[in-house]
Protein backbone atom coordinates (compact mmCIF):
# COMPACT_ATOMS: atom_id res chain seq x y z
CA UNK A 1 0.00 0.00 0.00
CA UNK A 2 2.90 2.36 0.71
CA UNK A 3 4.19 2.06 -2.86
CA UNK A 4 0.72 2.69 -4.27
CA UNK A 5 0.43 5.85 -2.17
CA UNK A 6 3.65 7.24 -3.62
CA UNK A 7 2.51 6.38 -7.16
CA UNK A 8 -0.56 8.47 -6.37
CA UNK A 9 1.49 11.65 -6.09
CA UNK A 10 3.95 10.92 -8.91
CA UNK A 11 1.90 9.32 -11.68
CA UNK A 12 -1.11 11.18 -13.07
CA UNK A 13 -2.25 8.02 -14.86
CA UNK A 14 -2.43 6.13 -11.55
CA UNK A 15 -4.02 9.13 -9.86
CA UNK A 16 -6.78 9.21 -12.50
CA UNK A 17 -7.75 5.64 -11.57
CA UNK A 18 -8.04 6.49 -7.87
CA UNK A 19 -10.07 9.62 -8.56
CA UNK A 20 -12.33 7.64 -10.88
CA UNK A 21 -12.95 4.95 -8.28
CA UNK A 22 -13.70 7.60 -5.66
CA UNK A 23 -16.05 9.48 -8.03
CA UNK A 24 -17.92 6.29 -8.93
CA UNK A 25 -18.34 5.37 -5.26
CA UNK A 26 -19.46 8.86 -4.19
CA UNK A 27 -21.90 9.43 -7.07
CA UNK A 28 -23.06 5.82 -7.60
CA UNK A 29 -22.38 6.40 -11.31
CA UNK A 30 -22.88 3.59 -13.80
CA UNK A 31 -22.76 3.73 -17.57
CA UNK A 32 -24.99 1.92 -20.09
CA UNK A 33 -25.99 -0.88 -17.68
CA UNK A 34 -27.54 -0.77 -14.22
CA UNK A 35 -25.67 -3.68 -12.64
CA UNK A 36 -21.97 -4.17 -11.79
CA UNK A 37 -21.02 -4.12 -15.48
CA UNK A 38 -22.15 -0.50 -15.67
CA UNK A 39 -19.65 0.39 -12.95
CA UNK A 40 -16.82 -1.33 -14.84
CA UNK A 41 -17.72 0.43 -18.09
CA UNK A 42 -17.99 3.75 -16.23
CA UNK A 43 -14.56 3.22 -14.67
CA UNK A 44 -12.85 2.56 -17.98
CA UNK A 45 -14.66 5.40 -19.75
CA UNK A 46 -13.91 7.98 -17.03
CA UNK A 47 -10.23 7.02 -16.91
CA UNK A 48 -10.05 7.24 -20.70
CA UNK A 49 -11.65 10.70 -20.75
CA UNK A 50 -9.36 11.89 -17.94
CA UNK A 51 -6.28 10.72 -19.84
CA UNK A 52 -7.47 12.39 -23.05
CA UNK A 53 -7.83 15.66 -21.14
CA UNK A 54 -4.39 15.25 -19.53
CA UNK A 55 -2.82 14.57 -22.95
CA UNK A 56 -4.47 17.61 -24.48
CA UNK A 57 -3.35 19.75 -21.55
CA UNK A 58 0.21 18.48 -21.99
CA UNK A 59 0.17 19.26 -25.72
CA UNK A 60 -1.16 22.76 -25.09
CA UNK A 61 1.54 23.41 -22.47
CA UNK A 62 4.20 22.13 -24.87
CA UNK A 63 2.90 24.38 -27.64
CA UNK A 64 2.92 27.42 -25.35
CA UNK A 65 6.48 26.64 -24.27
CA UNK A 66 7.54 26.31 -27.93
CA UNK A 67 5.96 29.66 -28.81
CA UNK A 68 7.70 31.36 -25.87
CA UNK A 69 11.04 29.96 -27.04
CA UNK A 70 10.41 31.23 -30.58
CA UNK A 71 9.52 34.69 -29.25
CA UNK A 72 12.68 34.80 -27.14
CA UNK A 73 14.76 33.79 -30.17
CA UNK A 74 13.16 36.51 -32.29
CA UNK A 75 13.83 39.05 -29.52
CA UNK A 76 17.50 38.04 -29.34
CA UNK A 77 17.85 38.30 -33.13
CA UNK A 78 16.22 41.74 -33.04
CA UNK A 79 18.57 42.93 -30.29
CA UNK A 80 21.58 41.64 -32.22
CA UNK A 81 20.46 43.43 -35.40
CA UNK A 82 19.87 46.68 -33.46
CA UNK A 83 23.33 46.43 -31.88
CA UNK A 84 24.92 45.72 -35.28
CA UNK A 85 23.39 48.91 -36.71
CA UNK A 86 24.83 51.01 -33.88
Which tens digits make up the pLDDT trace of 17-64? Answer: 888 899 999 998 888 888 889 999 999 998 898 889 888 998 999 999
How far, in Å, are 22, 25, 74, 84 from residue 49 at the CA level?
16, 18, 38, 53
Decide: 14 and 7 in contact? Cβ < 8 Å: yes
Domain boundaries, the chain: 2-85
Residues 6+ apart with CB under 8 A from 6: none
Report if pTM > 0.75. Answer: no
Amino acid sequence: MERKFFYLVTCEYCFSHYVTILAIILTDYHFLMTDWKGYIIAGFSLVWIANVYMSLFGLIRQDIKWEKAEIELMEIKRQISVQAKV
